[in-house]
Amino acid sequence: MQPVDAPVRPVPRPDAAVPAVEVTGLRRRYGAFEAVRGISFAVQPGEVFALLGVNGAGKTSALEVLEGLARPDGGTVRILGADPHLERAAVRPHLGVLLQSSGLPGDLSVRETVSTWQRTLTDPRPVDEALGQVGLTDRADVRVRSLSGGERRRLDLALALLGRPRVLVLDEPTTGLDPESRRAVWGLVHEMVDGGTAVVLTTHHLEEAEELADRIAVLRAGLIELSGTPAEIAGTQPSTIRFSLPADAPALPALPGADVVAPGPSVDVHTRALQADLTTLLTWAADHDVELGGLQARAASLEQAFLAVADGTPVPTR
């Protein structure tokens, strides 16, 4: 963290025994519909945990309990060891929340908005520091009504960071931001994490999850379908070798365990043994003097894994 961000209050040593966020068997129900059907995860100080999932997967419903805005219908949530709803007063000074969408009065200026919020917090940053953090210093005297969508989102973020939170909950932090602002937000999250803050975020942008998250959980219909590091999650899907064959090519070599899809001259090989199968293919091509046109070989991306789960394709286990 930058020196300017150094907290005034003594930051307690992260307590290894108590995770910053601990969710156990969380359920949420709206009438007969169960939006969250028993999910569990824990986030340590200095760690970023991303919840992925299509709209309606239950991400926001789960976060609302972490934020203390809703009671769970089952299971427990602990923020720094305390219940965010029942022990609100203890949790709130340490919790920063960015809602997926929320409003601000349009007729206050940016500075007035931040300083009003600041006066309600236990240990706030100075207003100028908060504005500088999100690049709104030049817009301080502009009415909120006149801000662009991206500027408004950055103001939201400034308010979420204003109380120097030890736990930060970000519901789609960069939706609607241009690529440059998005990178700036990523930088801020990295800074907070370096200072020991635990972050739980949701996002639709898989590259955002890859960039920020130490661990990811993919949520589908209220259940965690898949969780792990971005690399582990991507690894649940096979790698792909793609090339095209000349018409007179001899039969391909045997690739045990691989799934060869060859509708015409172009061939897709889905394999969990990328290096071995690629070696077999290249050796075969060299031996038979065959040119593999447009040869590509790549490991599965997080996006592939995400789409597989979001589509409901069963996830193969290794």
Q: Give the residue, chosen from 103, 264, 294, 312, that forms a contact with another protein under the rule CB under 8 A.
A: 103
What is the spatial distance between Cα 43 and Cα 59, in angstroms, rounded to a whole number? Answer: 16
Q: If binding is defined by CB under 8 A, does position 76 make contact with another protein?
A: no
Q: Return the range that interacts with another protein (CB under 8 A); candidates 76-84, 208-216, 222-230, 255-263.
A: 76-84
Q: If binding is defined by CB under 8 A, does position 41 make contact with another protein?
A: no
Q: If binding is defined by CB under 8 A, does position 80 make contact with another protein?
A: yes
* Beta-carbon contacts of residue 19 (< 8 Å; ≥ 6 apart): 42, 43, 44, 78, 198
Q: For residues 35 and 54, is the Cβ–Cβ distance under 8 A? A: no
Q: If binding is defined by CB under 8 A, does position 91 make contact with another protein?
A: yes
Q: If binding is defined by CB under 8 A, does position 104 make contact with another protein?
A: yes
Minimum CB distance to another protein smaller for 87 or for 214: 87
Q: Give the residue, chosen from 1, 42, 54, 99, that forms a contact with another protein under the rule CB under 8 A.
A: 99
Q: Give the residue, chosen from 2, 101, 275, 283, that forms a contact with another protein under the rule CB under 8 A.
A: 101
Q: Give the residue, chosen from 41, 49, 117, 284, that forms a contact with another protein under the rule CB under 8 A.
A: 117
Q: Give the residue, chosen from 31, 107, 247, 254, that forms a contact with another protein under the rule CB under 8 A.
A: 107
Q: If binding is defined by CB under 8 A, does position 5 make contact with another protein?
A: no
What is the spatial distance between Cα 58 and Cα 41, in angstroms, rounded to a whole number? Answer: 14
Q: Give the residue, chosen from 2, 12, 76, 187, that forms a contact with another protein under the rule CB under 8 A.
A: 12
Site residues, another protein (CB under 8 A): 9-12, 15, 18, 67, 69, 78, 80-82, 87-94, 97, 99, 101-105, 107-108, 112-113, 116-117, 119-123, 159-160, 163, 166
